[in-house]
Structures are given as C-alpha cells and as structure tokens.
Structure 1
Amino acid sequence: MNYSTLKKGLAVSFVALMGATSIASAQDAAATSSSAKVFGGGGQYRTWSLGVNGGVLSPFVAIGGSNDFTNADVNLGYGISLRKQFGHVIGVEGNVFRGKVSGNNKDAPSGMVNGISEFETELAYAADLRAVFNIGSIDFLRRENSVNFFLTAGYGAAAYRTALNGADVKDVPENKGDNGDKKYIKEAYIPVGAGVKFKVSERVSFNLGYTMHFLDGDNFDGVYAKGTSKDKFSYGYAGLEFSLGSKSKSNIDWVNPLAVMYDELKDPSLRQEVEALKNRVSNIEKSVEDLKKDSDGDGVADQFDKCPGTPAGTAVDGSGCPLPKAPEPTAVATGNLTGFETIQFEFNSSVLKTESYPTLDKLSSVLRENGGKVTVNGYASSEGTAAYNLKLSKDRANSVKTYLVNSGVNASQVVTKGNGEANPVASNDTEEGRIQNRRVESARN
C-alpha cells in the first residue's frame, strides 16, 4: 500500500467520523459532572466504552533494539476494544486487532541478508487484556477535562503466518495444514503503550495511541536468529471510543474528581446542613450549661436542687437541702479537752494521720479515767461504689478503735460502726466537701 494514499484515506475517514459524532452529540442531552458526588460510587458514572481504531503496523518499535530487516513497510491495521473503568484512574481493556506486518532489506549492501530480501506476516488476530491508567483524569488546573493521557500494559496472544522473498503467504507449504487449510503460529506477547484522548462529546472521544508488542519468540518475521533475539512489532492508531450506558449519567473519563469535591463543598444545601448542625451543637452546649447551673452556689445543680435559695455556706445533702445540725460535742472533761473532735482521713485510706493523735489521746484519757462506752462512726465520700465505701468507713472506725485499745482503753468500751456515704456533712459535688466527709466521729453511749 502507498504511504501517501494511506494518509489521505485516514484523513478523509477521520473528518467524516468527526462530523458524524458532532451531529450525534448535538442530539444527546449529555449529563454534566455536576450530577456526580464525591462518595457516590461507580454507579453514578458511565464506565463501559466501546472503541474502533485503525492505523499503521510496523516490525519496528520506538525504543529501538535489534531487527532482522533494515526497513519497515507501512501496512494498515484495524481493531476494536471494550473497556471497563473501575475508577477515575484505573480500568481494564480488552483489545482485538489484525492486519499485515512486513519489512525488507533494501538498505542492505546487496538488498539481501542471508539470501532474504523481504518478509510479509499475515496477522490473523492479536487479542489481549490490558490495564489502563488515566494519568490526566485528576486535573489541578481545569474544572472540566477535555484531554486525557493514558498508559497501558497487559498480556495477549497472536496468531500469524509468514512468507519470505515476495511469496504469497497463502501458498507457502508451511502455512497449510494436512487438508490444505490455513495454519497459523500462535504466540504470546506483552503490549505496552501510551496515548491521548480528546473529548468530542459526552459520548464520544477521539483517541491517538501507540502500542509496542513484545513477542515470546523469534518466528514473527520468518527469520529465526537462533534464540539470540525475540521479535516485536508496533501499532500506531487513531480511533473513536463510544461511552455506553444511560445518558443521565456522566462519562467517568471526563469527570475531574477535584472539581466534584470543590462543587460539593460549595453546594448550598450542604452549607445549610452544616449551619443547621452548628445550631444544634450550640443548643446542646446551652442545654449542658443549663444543666450545670447552680443559682444558690450550694454545689447542687438547679434541676436537682429541691431546696433552692439555700444561704451561702449552708451544708446540704445531695438534693440541695440543709443537713440537720450535728449535736454539740459533749464535754467529758474540764476545760477545752472534750476528746470528741472529728478525725479526718485521706482519699481511699483508713490510715490515721499523725495530726489526729492528740485528739485520740485525749479521748483515750477520758475513757480510761471516767469509764463508760463510746461509739465510733466511720464515713466515706461518694467516690467509688456504695459497697466499697461501706467497707472503707468500717476500716476507718476500726483504725480509731485499734489506736484507743493500744493506748490502754478496754476493747469493750469501744463500739465501731461503718456508715458508708450516709450522713455527709458537706456536698460530695466538690472536693472540699468530699474532704470533710472522709471522717470518723465519736459519741458517748
């Protein structure tokens, strides 16, 4: 085929196809990327596409390498493709194409190498499965894409038959089976390619691509170089790709996910939802503050305070009501030595503090000198469980009894009782109140 004639034919075909697709796109009410959502999933897009292509087959590849012939002939190839896009970047494409690949040794000194002047390979088919990487789908500069670059790589198999020195491939004995039918060599290959696609409409794109095919053998051009090399060929093509699916959906190839994210963030309905959420948070915060409000400052929130307006400094119970006044200490000795002062304890402790020793010594002296009995009542603040606090209060009372007995008081003179969290002398809602409630009180029987 004449190279000039091939170029003219491809140009005329391209113009005609472009005109046809422009008319089709004008009649199609295309979806826009505004219908897409950031986390809307693949179901909101058209992800299947069907392509047709035609172009030039050559025994040479762009990256060079060894060849068994000095010159490449220009031959027509054509094929179809079916692609499934799994995301904005990654997809899988199946390809089938066929055509003729040929070359010659006209630049060799004698026009021949080892007695071979030319070859012609009839490519019955080449079929492969490729991964497709759209490297221009995420665009930081444009809101809508109209040009997209892609890379491909995969694995396939080809069926072909070859003739040398101008022979007709149909007449070569090696290319015929026992019954004179067609006989092809079947061989695996690896396709690696790149290309660019241009948006014609929401449905149609115009693709330009170039793929190198690396064969797993050295028989493609009819010359076997004793395993020192493997053959290869390339396919440069132009084609049209048609997006399949509902016209109400966007074509995933032309949706810029960054623009979709920006549009969604600027969506008035979303901003209204955010503002409504802010208002709800503000209302909740106000409700929490109302729950914490303590108008009379007694440590009990208003909603739980059954005795509002308690005077400042008044000891109250958990309901905010004043506690009954404790009876005045009964003097059992002259002067200021009553021996009935309250004994305080540290948090979660029943160990007597040294500062309580003078008080206990006075109480011991009264009991030893005057006889009689005393009831030692242990208490705890409200941290922890009620059962634990009951045990802790008993331990505190027993610590006082142990001290008195060790100081000479008869054990029968001291009765202990654990009261747990009962009868607090201050609010358990404040640390100051809880300190006062960790105590032991003694009373004469």
Structure 2
Amino acid sequence: MKLNFAIVALALAVPTASLAQDSLAVSNGGYPNTFSSGSADVSPFTQQSKRFNDWSVSIGAGVPLLQSADLTSIKNGNGKNLFGYSAYVSIDKAITHAFGIKLQYDRGETKQGWFNTKDSAPSGMPYQEVAARTQYDAISLLGDINFSNLLRRVDNHSPYRWALHGYAGIGTLAYRAYQKGANNKQALMTEVKPFKFNSLFGQVGTGLKFKVNNRIDLEGRVMYVITGDDEFDGGGAQYSAVNQREENTSDNFFNATLGASLKLGKHGSHLMWHDPLQEIYYKLDVLANRKQDVDLCKRGDLDKDAICDDWDRQLDTPAGARVDGAGVALDADLDGVIDLYDKCVTVPGPAENNGCPIVKDNHQTATVVEQELKDVYFNFNKATIRPESNDRLDQAAKIIKENGGNYLLTGHTDIKGSPAYNLKLSQERAAAVVAALENRGVSLNSLKSRGVGSAEAKFPATASDEERLADRKVTVRFIENSSEWEAMKKKDYEEAPVKKSIKKSSGKRK
C-alpha cells in the first residue's frame, strides 16, 4: 500500500511540474473559461508570455529531534538532549501566486536514547544503558501554500519581504537504525530500503521566508516527520523490550532547518512574491493620484452641439437641436423630420406637413366618390349597370380603398312613374353599385345601400327629360358614428323569391 502511494505521487509530480503555468495563464486561444485570468483578447500560453519566474532551487540544513518514540532525543530534564543533523535540497515549482510543489531530497541522522552512541554506556543504570542513532534518506513530494498571499490585506502597502508558508506531502523513507547497549558495541537493528512497502512516510510543517532580493530567499522551517514505523528509533524488532516501553506505533521527529532558495529565470520577480489583488489596488491608487492634462477636443465643436468634432457624425447640426452621443440630431418618430422642426414629435408624418400625419377628410372623400358615380348608367327600367360605366366604378373603388371609411350609397329616381316602382328601382340600383364596387376590392364592411325612389326629386313630371336627369342619381354619405353604422342594414329591401316551375307528371290508375 505504501509503495503504491509513493509511486502514484511521484508519477503525478513530473507532468504537473513540467506543465504548470503562472498566474497570467490564459485559455488556448478561445474565449477564457472560469479558471483563466485573461480577458476576451487572449493568446496561447507560451514562455514568452510569462511575467514572473516560477522555478527555484532550495537547500538547507538543520537538526532533527526524535519526539514520539520509545527512544527520544529530548529528555525533558532527565538526561541530555541529543542532536543529530539533517540537510535537504529541493526543486520548486510555483503553480500560482499562492500554491506550488516541491520535489525534495532529505538526508540526516537522528540521535536518541539515554546517551550519545559515541560515549560509553553509564554503569549501574540498566534501564538507561541504551542509545541509538538512525541514518536516513528520503524523497518526498510537498505541496507549498503561501499563506501570506492568501491572507494579505490588499490595502497593506508595506514592503512585501516576509511570507509564511505551509508544507505537506508524502514520500519514501530509507534508513539504517543502530543501537548501543551496556556492552558498548553498536549493532544494526533495522534497515529499510527505499521504494518499499514499508518506506512510505509523510511530513507536514511551516516555514517563514525572507526576501533578500529578487534572486535569493532565506527560510527557517520546522517540519514534523511521521515515519509510520515503530523501529525507526533503533529499538530493534517491533516487539523487542525497548519497543515495548511506549505504546507508540510510529516514531516521529521534528526537523528544524535553516535554508536558502535561488530563484531561476530571466524575469525580475518570482510568482510566489506576487499578489495580484495588491497589484491591482496599487495601480488604481496610482491612477487616482495621477494628474494629467488631457486634450479631449482637439478639433473643437463647430456646430456647438456639445459633441466634439473628433467624433461628431453630423458637423452641421442646426442650432438648438437635441443630439445623440454621435452628434446626430434626434428624430424620435423616425419620419425624416428632426425633432427641432417636427410639430408631431411622437407621430410620424411627411415633411410637407411639418412632420405631422395628414388627417383624411372622409366627407370630402364621399363627395369625390359621388362625382365619379354621377356618370354610372343603367339599362332602361333595370338595375343592370351599362359597360361604359366601368371606368367610373374603377376610379370610385380606388378612392374608397385609399382613404377608407364607411359609406352609405343612396339611390334616387325622378318623379315619373308610381312611387312604389320608383322606390324598388332606386333600392336595386344602389345595391348594384355597392356590388360593383365590392367586386373591385372594396371591403364588404365599408359600403351599405338604400333607395328613396322619387321622394327627394326636385323637378316635376312636366319638366324636360334633361332636367329630370338630375334627379336620377346615386348619392354618397360618410357615416362617422359607428353605432349608427352598425344599426343600418346592408341593403333596405328583400329580393323576391325565385319561383321554381313544377312539372306535372301524369298519374296511372292501378
């Protein structure tokens, strides 16, 4: 199990470290996704587009102190504290300004027990006549969290020289543990090879970095190493007398080191010392405090519409006209007449009527239609319209369709003839004109008819035929009131039913 974890961790470290990008990484040429820090104007990430160094090499040395074991380095007032040595070297990669990874190699030696293995065992104290030392080599993969960048206030303008880091990771630990007893002879008690099942270990800790310059950092670090092994302290086999003194099943130690980091790359600053939010606020402060005279209107404003001629799309706007952001005079109803000259700003209308719609006089329309129908002729004593009247009917229908409205057509006759006959003839002729106009495209709901016969005739029966011709006509009236129009019938007479002839069949007697 330990071997599998170590191999997987190292396998993931290599591609991650080689493909990691700095804080300016963007998408692959398309629109940026949630995790990119670019804008819509993006380009593929390359080494040339980087602004910060993100690689470094770290070295350091220190003192390991076995703390949780059957044989410890710290005596707590009972005996001497035994100090070993340790050293490390690591290759560091910054993924973002707040996170990175380290591939680290450690070498060292811990000293534990009741005396130094270089000295002779004390006599007369059997329980204390045991000492040990452990030489170890370790390879581990560590995650590096920059707490200062995560927790730093953006309004903190003090020099950014100190940074608190946190580390955690796993790796493989190989060691040789020696023990010295009352016979003053050292013996190899336990040996663990690297990349074995029982060589997996973990470590966690914190470090405080100081930025000397753009190339060198100093760091004090304290790591807590969890070996996961009860034999690391040199006590011998797991169930030996020494390893039965404490119930601990993992020998753990502190490793306090002092080291330095050399930051690699051609850029002036390292990614781990960069705080994007602080940079943004700093730039905002600079812009806010900058005093600069800007000439916004070099070409002036010739038409005095408050829009500089540099971006004015209408340089001859009339005085007093309201304009949009491009300097174009406003035309709210889009009728081609600017609001300055438009007397009906919200209603479109032609320029010849000052931008107002032309109101149609349907009463005048009725008069014009009546003039056209004046020369409509019928067959003698019939309601059949003669062919020579078609042009007049065409023109009358065109006028009605162009102007709209509801119209009542009234048929008239002269005084000659019986009143009943004249009434029926006038009704049929008025209805015939309505039908002819509707056949030419006039709406079926726009025309109605009636007949008054000779009731309104002006000339007596003794008048000449030419004089009585003025009484034989169709008049047109525009009906403005909708209620009045709805109360009228389509025509004011009922057509006589058609009588069907019935053929009598001869019956046969049975």
TM-score of the aligned structures, taking structure 1 as reference length: 0.55
Conservation of the 8 A alpha-carbon contact between 2:190 and 2:234: no
Q: 1:211 aligns with which of 223, 227, 233?
A: 223
Partner of 1:315: 357
1:365 positional shift: 8.8
CA distance in 2, matches of 1:230, 1:279: 79
Contact 1:47 1:86 in 2 (8 A): yes
Bigger mean CA deviation after superposition, 287-296 or 158-167: 287-296
Contact 2:61–2:88 at 8 Å: present in 1 too?
Answer: yes
Q: Matched residues in 2 for 1:159 and 1:88: separation?
A: 33
Superposed, 1:128-139 pairs within 5 Å as 128-137=140-149, 138-139=152-153
Taking the aligned partners of 2:283 and 2:436, their CA distance within structure 1 comes to: 71
Question: For 1:362-381, what aligned pairs fall within 5 Å after superposition?
Answer: 363=408, 370=427, 371-372=430-431, 373-374=433-434
1:121 to 134, 144, 167: 134
C-alpha contact (below 8 Å) 1:364/1:407 kept by paired residues: no
SS in 2 for 1:88: coil
Residues 325/159 of structure 1: CA separation in 2 closer, same or farther (3 Å cut): same
Q: Select the residue among 320, 339, 358 that pairs with 1:294.
A: 339
Give yes or no for contact 1:376–1:400 (8 Å, CA) kept in 2: no
Residue by residue over 1:9-28, the C-alpha shift from the partner in whole angstroms, topping out at 9 and shown as x without a partner, is xxxxxxxxxxxxxxxxxxxx
Cα distance in 2 for partners of 1:191, 1:280 equals: 69
Query: What is aligned with 2:10?
Result: none
Q: Distance in 2 between matches of 1:271 and 1:144?
A: 25
Tell which deviates more after alignment, 65-74 or 43-52. Answer: 65-74
The two structures, once aligned, show a CA RMSD in angstroms of 5.1
* Structure 2 residue 141 is matched with structure 1 residue 102: no
Query: Equivalents in 1 of 2:311, 2:486: separation in Å?
Result: 61
Specify whether residues 117 and 51 from structure 1 end up closer, same or farther in structure 2 by C-alpha distance, changes over 3 A only: same
Q: 2:318 maps to which residue?
A: none
User: C-alpha offsets along residues 48-75 of structure 1, whole Å, 9 cap, x if unaligned?
Assistant: 1111100001111xxxx56444635211
Q: Which runs of 5+ in 2 are unaligned?
A: 1-36, 40-44, 76-80, 116-121, 297-306, 314-323, 332-337, 369-404, 413-423, 449-481, 493-510
Aligned to 2:265: 245
Write the mapping of 1:161-310 to structure 2, written as runs, cut at 5 A. Answer: 161-165=176-180, 172=188, 175=191, 187-223=199-235, 224=238, 225=243, 229-246=249-266, 248-266=267-285, 285-287=324-326, 290-292=329-331, 293-298=338-343, 308=351, 310=353
1:57 aligns with 2:76: no
Task: Measure how far apart 1:315 and its partner are.
Answer: 2.1
Q: Structure 2: which amino acid aligns with 1:54? A: A
Aligned-pair CA distance for 1:260: 1.4
Query: Structure 1: how far apart are the matches of 2:157 and 2:192?
Result: 57
Partners of 1:96 and 1:118 in 2: how far apart?
27
Q: Distance in 2 between matches of 1:377 and 1:74?
A: 120
- Asked if the contact 2:176–2:188 (Cα under 8 Å) also holds between the matched residues in 1, the reply is no
Q: Is the 8 A contact 2:60 2:260 kept in 1?
A: yes
- Relative to its length, the structure with more helix (as a share) is 1
CA distance in 2, matches of 1:220, 1:236: 19
Alignment partner of 1:286: what SS?
coil
TM-score relative to the length of structure 2: 0.48
Give 2:329's aligned amino acid: D
- The structure whose residues are more often strand, as a share, is 1
Unaligned runs of 5+ in 1: 1-37, 317-322, 333-358, 379-393, 412-445
SS of the counterpart of 1:44?
Answer: coil
Contact 1:148 1:197 in 2 (8 A): yes
8 Å CA contact retained: 1:126, 1:157: yes
| In 2: Cα distance, 1:131 partner to 1:122 partner | 25
Shift in Å, 1:168: 7.1
Residue 84 (structure 1) aligns with? 93
